[in-house]
Amino acid sequence: MATRTKQLKGNTLTDRQWKLLAFIVDYTLKHFYQPSVREMCRKFCISSPNGIMCHLRALEHKGFIDLSGGQSRAIRIKKDVLEAMRGAA
């Protein structure tokens, strides 16, 4: 089974990472705060919060977001990513 990928800022995102990043951006723009891990689990039908955390850590490693450990809703979307996401929409 082939994994679809998408390029953003010169980095390759898997289809799931792209959808998660888009969800975080859309949710943040709509609500003015970030979604919780549980909300992301519900959105993507993932039963374990660790599944979402693995994707979030990958997005952080690739330079799309910053995570602040030990805090609720502690996802910061990088400014250049927001601009690139708006251009990609």
Residues 20-47 have a mean pLDDT of 94
Express each pLDDT in 38-75 by its tens digit.
Answer: 999 999 999 999 999 999 999 999 999 999 877 778 89
Is residue 49 assigned to a domain? Answer: yes
Estimate to the nearest angstrom the gap between the alpha carbon of 42 and the chain centroid: 14
pLDDT at residue 31 is higher than 80: yes
Q: How many domains does the chain have?
A: 1
Residue 20 structural domain: 13-88
- Residue 60: which CATH number? 1.10.10.10
What was the pLDDT predicted at 69? 74
Is residue 64 assigned to a domain? Answer: yes
Is residue 4 assigned to a domain? Answer: no
Q: Could you tell me the two tokens for 71?
A: 């805090």
Instruction: Give the chain's mean pLDDT.
Output: 86
Give me the phi and psi of 63, to 5 degrees please: 90, 20
Question: Residue 83 contacts by C-beta under 8 Å, 6 or more apart in sequence?
Answer: none
pLDDT at residue 4 is higher than 70: no
0.85 surpassed by pTM: no
